Amino acid sequence: MLKTFDSRRVPPYFAAMRCAYRMIGIPVVLLLGLLAGGCQTMDRNELTWQTLHAVDVAQTLNAASDPCYREKAWMTRRMIGEQPSDASVLLWGVGTAMAHKLVADLMERRNAPGWAQKIWQYGTISHTGYAVVANHQNGVRAWGDNQNYDGCYR
């Protein structure tokens, strides 16, 4: 029997190499998190959001290279497109992280009411956490192979 090769899937050897390559990001994120944990200018809420955002960016990077996945978040899709390049995902990720930190710092410097700062922090943490969980439930993995679903892979 003749086996057909699906160009969307890679041979097991290359899949293992790609998985190992993606695993390099885990220690890097943990190291950056530990280093940032000592920063005096970043409180726990900001560090929590930045960590969740880093996972969301990693998930988006992984999904961007998979032909079966399309960006569905309306705002993100308008900024980076349905099937973004790695460069546009990284640019979006860094830009969003810097903008979030800038807004949090401006609110603190301008003495915004405490409740407004808490709404900003907890609201963005909740939204990003929801996005990470929803991505995972949809089969998008931050490091490793995305999950197959009916109708895409043969």
Question: What's this model's pTM, rounded to 2 decimal places?
Answer: 0.69
Q: What is the pLDDT of residue 37?
A: 54
- List of residues 6+ apart from 79 with CB closer than 8 A: 92
Q: Give the C-alpha separation, 53 to 134, whole Å.
A: 13
Contact 129, 52 (CB under 8 A): yes
Q: What is the pLDDT of residue 19?
A: 54
Query: What average pLDDT values come out for the chain (154 residues) when binned by 10 residues?
Result: 45 52 58 56 85 91 79 81 84 92 93 94 94 85 71 51
Q: What is the pLDDT of residue 101?
A: 93
Q: What is the pLDDT of residue 65?
A: 78
Crossing angle of helices 44-64/114-137, nearest 10°?
30
Q: Give the C-alpha separation, 125 to 48, whole Å.
A: 7
Question: In Å, how far from its chain's centre is CA 48?
Answer: 13
Q: What is the pLDDT of residue 154?
A: 35
